Amino acid sequence: MPLWTRSFLFILLLGIFCGCHRSSPPSTFTYVNGAEPESLDPAIITGQPEMRLVSALFEGLTARNKKGEVEPGVAESWTLSNDLKTIRFTLRKAYWSNGDPVTAPEFVQSWERALNPLMASKYAELLYPIKNAESYNKGKIDDFNLVGVHAPDLQTLEVQLENPTPFFLDLCSMATLYPVHFPSLKSEGRNWIKPGKLISNGAYKLKEWKIDDRVVLQKNRHYWRADQVNIEEISALTTSSATTAFNLFYSGKADLIMDKGLIPTLMIEHLRKQPYFHSNPFLATYFYRFNVTRKPFNNPKVRKAFALSINKQQIVDKITRAGEPIAHSLTPPGVRNYTPPQGVVQNIALAQKLLAEAGYPKGKGFPSVSILYNSSELNQQIAVEIQSMWKEALGVNVTLQNQEWKVYLGSLDQLDFDIARSSWVGDYNDANTFLDCFVTGRGNNRTGWSHPQYDQLMAQSASEQNTGKRAEILQSAEQILVEQELPIVPIYHFVGMSLYHREKLGGFESNVVDDHPLRELYLIQPSKK
């Protein structure tokens, strides 16, 4: 039998016959984090592996708890003006990992740093609800004093918003809005994020970072609620291989896997029956991007032809196998106060007609294009399947291009691809977290697509206070995105998956934003008989 089949059977038999697992020592915890982190700088990071680590190292004005709910972080309280456009935060007595106090001016400096055009932060848009923040980030104004964030004193931060923004407190829990320690930033330069140099204000501090191996976090004794942090040391293991990740879990070398992409898809049907397997829906979508700055994908007819040729049900039935709902919209069902549009469904005849109208009847004369994906067994399997669908339906030859995480992110940023695998996890429970990504010039657009009407609708939604009218505006915008222009093709909505033993690990709860703070976790001692 083929090698992959023998490997699969070995893992399967291991899962059936090995009933014993190593209990982690009471003060240490190990989990599989995924790809090698791009960075640990809150202003730079964009991926989930980095977000998990940085959210353990730093803390914003607000924080997320194990239920995914926003709660006070460095800010112990806040008040909102009558017009809902000014928020006044009062900071608690919080400290950096070296004992320095965390102050309001440091938030002002850190937000200025994230918005500085020279920083080129891909997530700077999270600060755009603040008055004049977008203008400063885009270089339209160069005086940061005009941006609506000020510190009247060391413990007070006042934020003025462009419009009432009900999810702004959610944004304050995001990495881009975390404070950074400027004395160490200035003294260490680019080395400030390295072990022994990184000064952080979160539940943990950085102890060790071994490239392509692990990142080790150590409890921060200066954290304002250190008495509520139960695990002394956390090791985040680096691997993009689902087989490796699973074997680490089963051999007892890892206590937790919390990414579907790190669970072997061929084993999911078996694993779903195991007590250590856990799943839940959450707000995330797997999709493909088109680079609309390159021919032939500068033509909407070509993009739509490719979208209409994908059998999404076949992908979730044959490859992902976890009951994922297929996606016709970028915004998943279940987003608060919003109903996504219907999108487009598979229609081979229409796809062939559109491709012919674009000048490529039956694929004749179609240029060489490729699908870019970051290294992952799941991403590869999906790419192979879609490659075959496009060949059969449209007569086009598409090659596959696989890159490691950091290189892949760079290719997306530079628009150095034809088609690229992507996913988006909602940062908060609102359609804006998905749809704002594709406004012209957004750091997470990464398609080169620009549409004035779409931009106008998104701007209009930001100032609309009637919930029903706002939903209608957002739906109109998403119809442009996924029914008319299609710079992206939604494929399926995620089902969250994790592997851990409830009798050994506590503090891990499923939630719609798939946020699992490491500070909330605790290890359960085995009962003595």
Low-confidence ranges of the chain (pLDDT < 50): 1-25
DSSP state of 328: S
pLDDT score at 526: 76
Q: Which of 424, 420, 329, 430 has its CA nearest to residue 374?
A: 420
pLDDT score at 285: 97
Long-range Cβ contacts of 135-143 (<8 Å, 24+ apart): 138/441
Cα–Cα distances in angstroms (integers) from residue 57 to residues 52, 91, 109, 287, 438, in the given order: 9, 18, 18, 30, 30
Q: How far apart are CA 479 and CA 78, in angstroms?
A: 37
Q: Cis omega before residue 490 (within 30°)?
A: no
- 348-357 vs 300-308: helix crossing angle, rounded to 10: 160
Tokens 């669970």 sit on residue: 263
Contact 410, 381 (CB under 8 A): no
Domains detected in the chain: 39-192 (3.90.76.10), 283-495 (3.10.105.10)
pLDDT score at 13: 37
**Chain CA centroid to CA 10, Å:** 33
* Tokens standing for residue 525: 């001692």
Residues in the chain: 529
pLDDT score at 245: 97
Q: How far apart are CA 304 and CA 242, in angstroms?
A: 32
Q: How far apart are CA 230 and CA 227, in angstroms?
A: 8
pLDDT score at 27: 80
